[in-house]
Amino acid sequence: MKGNDLVRNVFQLLGDYARCWLRGPPIYYVWMISLLIFVGVGGVAYLSQLREGLGVTAMTNQVSWGLYISNFTFLVGVAAAAVLLIIPAYVYDWAPIKEIAVLGEGLAVSALIMCMLFVTLDLGRPERVWHLLPLVGKPNFPSSMLVWDIIVLTGYLLLNVGIPLYVLVMIYSRKGTKDWLIMPLIFLSIPWAVGIHTVTAFLYNGFGGRPFWNAAILAPRFLASAFCSGPAISLLAFQIIRKFSRFEVKDEALFKIGEMICIAMGLNLFLLGCEVFKELYTGSIHKSPIVYLYTGLHGHSALVPWIWTATGFNMLAFLIFLIPKTRKSFVTLNLGCLLIVLGVWIEKGMGLIVPGFIPTPMGEIWEYTPNRIEILISAGVFAIGLLIYTLLLKVAVAIETGEMKIPDDMAKGVSHASPAGH
């Protein structure tokens, strides 16, 4: 392809992208405007935090991680769960899931961006993040687990941007994808997905003074719960996509994802039971955090309703996905997905991060409940993530369905490839 043709194709692609993002039915504009309002409200709340510091939040010196890091932990799992679509799609070449794998990778991209935003929000002085950068700062690699977390998250983001971008550009250009070019990256993304949540678990494991996090099964628990929440969100998103677009998502693909969720949730509940038994049966002095979490401690019980709600949601969802009849009914399937998203969010957020600080090493109990500032800022970040995911989906669906493709006069000499052929 000549240089002038290449430049013309790039500008054609960018123009089509912009037109795709700007066009849509009325409900699309209502959705986007609503998200922008949430982003604006969250931005105003963040300006208050940026001006006055983290003191405007409910966090204290005793409980220094709260809603922001809770959301970060949950979203790392959502991002990692994209591997459950990648394995059957590309390793086993199963067509029903291969057709929707790109959409799942888009969810991973938006989740990773939200992860990075939540970590930035938790910094009292975000402009000092350059200290973690190589060359200009002192990242203390490889001893710092935080730097390891930055590396694995950034690498996984690049993989989940690069692979679907290549596939979609090839479909848009009416060319066939070259498997030898992307398969090594796909195989690399599988252990990398496991790595991002494992390193996040190691980040908590590394705090020797926080016995609640010093569990060898923390990383497996993270992965098991991640393989529930991420696919549950994907199931809900795929149904919305096929309702409001011409993109076909087969029922068999949705039900297969439901089967994988059932296995993951069963494993998650088993590991949780193992951890509770180990903490309570031995009766060691380090059982205080889990006692505080599940029954309250010395009259303090702010998290008890949270964790029992999460446990009830997860157990009910497991039963829904375990029974074939309810797993294959979209009413109960969607109910189970909602229960899993809420249950895992509480379990991996408020039920994991906060009790790690309570009681303190001095035996003090400082309870934490997110305040209005934290809730507004968090809502703004989730709105940003949904905006990004919506824009990614809109373009991906348009290309996959053939609604957006390179014009005929620019596609001379290019072999045609069907969207499902990638």
Task: Provide, for the chain, the percentages of residues in helix, strand and coil under a 3-state DSSP scheme, each rounded to the nearest 5.
Answer: 75, 0, 25
C-alpha 244: how far from chain center: 23
Cα separations in angstroms, 123 against 120, 348, 375: 5, 20, 16
Q: Give me the pLDDT at residue 81, please.
A: 83
Give the per-residue pLDDT at 418: 41
- Average the pLDDT over 116-120 and give the result: 92
Q: Report the distance separating Cα 217 and Cα 327, nearest Å.
A: 28
Segments making up each domain of the chain, as ranges: 27-415
Is the pLDDT assigned to residue 422 strictly greater than 50?
Answer: no
Bridge partners for 297 per DSSP: 300
Distance, CA of 71 to CA of 346 (rounded, Å): 9
Domain spanning 27-415, CATH architecture: Up-down Bundle (1.20)
What is the structure's pLDDT at 7? 63
Maximum Cα–Cα distance across the chain: 76
| pLDDT computed for residue 261 by the predictor | 93
Task: Supply the pLDDT for residue 132.
Answer: 77
Q: What does pTM read for this prediction?
A: 0.90
What pLDDT score does 20 carry? 83
Give me the mean pLDDT over the 132-153 stretch.
Answer: 82
User: pLDDT tens digit string along 58-97?
Assistant: 998 889 899 999 999 999 999 988 888 888 888 887 888 8
SS3 263: helix
DSSP 211: G
Q: Which residues neighbour 306 within 8 Å (Cβ) at sequence distance 6 or greater?
A: 346, 350, 351
pLDDT in tens, 185-239: 889 988 998 899 899 999 898 888 888 898 888 999 999 999 999 999 999 999 9
pLDDT in tens, 147-159: 888 889 999 999 9
DSSP label at residue 287: G
